[in-house]
Each structure stands twice: as structure tokens, then as C-alpha cells.
Amino acid sequence: MMDPKISGAFPGPDGLARCPWALSAPEYLAYHDNEWGRPVSSLQGLYERMTLEAFQSGLSWITILRKRENFRRAFAGFWPERVAVFTDRDIKRLLSDPGIVRNRVKIVAAIENARLVTDLGLRFADMVLSYRVIGRPRPVAGERRATSPESIAMARELKSLGFRFVGPTTAYAMMQAIGLVDDHLAGCFAPPPVWPEVNPTPETPPPPEPDSGCD
């Protein structure tokens, strides 16, 4: 194992070295080990990550993680074509839901962004995934990354298409979350993202569930 003072990674409860933030809460540990930095290419997955990162703006990520299942129920499983048809009635429902972050501007942005994702289809996924960063070394202790040239360019392109609440910092957080950039610390046990050389494919959402949030 690399020296934690150099790498920044520290041993977890099982002895494996991890990014320190992963050790601060059980939810962080599970998210770090099983999701963060792993490739996501589906429209549903990309829309969910983009939306959650937008809701996180100004808040702690642990708040979003602890409300994630509530968000999924409230936003119809984050299937963009379902959220795209939300109405004023849904906005009222969401604003009265204590299980999510009740911010009208972010809620409306999530619905409008869903409409754009639905209209663009696989073009949206292709655009987001085109910003993958290859070959950059993992950060070391004390090296903090909040934006990058790629996230600035992605945010600019998303804004030009009409997307809201996806600035350079939010875009970079999404890039980290979906494996477009490998920002696990040097020495962290998590493997680098492995992207299959296939294009995103259309998905068929499952039938609505009683608590899916669809009226």
C-alpha cells in the first residue's frame, strides 16, 4: 500500500485502502465501493446522476444519498420519458414531499431536463460520454479537483441545448460519478473504470409501480 501521506488513501474496516471520504459514513462506503467512478452509459442512469448532482448543489452529498430512494419514487425511477410528462400537479406533489429536496427551481429544472433527454435520446448519451478523460493520473493527497476543461466544455454544451442546473462543477461531479474521469485517490483499491467499446442502446422502462410517482 502507498504511504497514506502521499496517496491520501486510508485503510477501511476490511483493511483495503480507500478515499478518506468513503470512511465517514456507511452510505458513503457502499457508494464508493459499488458505484462511484464506475461506468454508466444508459439514458436512465445518466439522467439520474445528472439530476441528483443538480439537487446536491449547495448541500452535502450524504443528504442526497440518504434521500436517494425517495427521489427515485418521486421521480418515477428517473426514467426521463416519464418525468418529461410531469405536470403542475406533479410539481405540487414534489413540493409537498418531505422525502426529497423541495426546491422548486431544481424540481422544474429536473422536469425540463427530462424533456430534453427524451427529445435527444441516444444523442444525449453520446454527447455526455464524449467527454471521457483518458490517461490522467489519479489525484494524490491534497489534490482537489472540482472542475476540468472537459467539464467546462460539457456544461457549455448542455447549456446551449437548454439544460439547467448543470454548471462546470456539477458536470464534473457527474463525470466523477459515472467514470468519465477516474478520481479515486492514488492507492485506493477501487479499480479504474473499464468502458465496453459499445454504443449506448435504447431502453424500455418497466411498467409503473404503485409508488413510482406517476399519476
pTM above 0.85, yes or no: yes
Half-sphere exposure of 176 (CA within 13 A, CB side): 19
- DSSP-derived secondary structure for 131-144: T---SPPPP-TT--
User: Looking at domain 6-129+138-177, which of 2.60.40.420, 3.40.1390.10, 3.50.50.60, 1.10.340.30 is its CATH number?
Assistant: 1.10.340.30
At 173-213, the pLDDT tens digits run 999 999 999 999 999 999 999 998 655 555 666 666 544 44
Tell me which of 53, 79, 81, 131 is the catalytic residue: 53
Backbone angles phi, psi at 108, to 5 degrees: -65, -40
DSSP state of 93: H
Return the exposure string of 45-58: e unless at least 16 CB atoms fall within 10 Å of the residue's CB, then b: bbbbbbbbbbbbbe
Tell me which of 28, 31, 47, 131 is the catalytic residue: 31
Nearest partner of 182 among 134, 148, 126, judged by Cα = 134
* Per-position pLDDT tens, the chain of length 215: 455 556 689 999 999 999 999 999 999 999 999 999 999 999 999 999 999 999 999 999 999 999 999 999 999 999 999 999 999 999 999 999 999 999 999 999 999 999 999 999 999 999 999 999 999 999 998 888 999 999 999 999 999 999 999 999 999 999 999 999 999 999 999 999 999 865 555 566 666 654 444 44
Extents of the domains making up the chain = 6-129+138-177
pLDDT of residue 215: 42
Tell me which of 61, 79, 131, 172 is the catalytic residue: 61
Is 31 a known active-site residue?
yes
**3-class DSSP state of 17:** strand
pLDDT of residue 8: 85
Half-sphere exposure of 160 (CA within 13 A, CB side): 8
Is 61 a known active-site residue?
yes
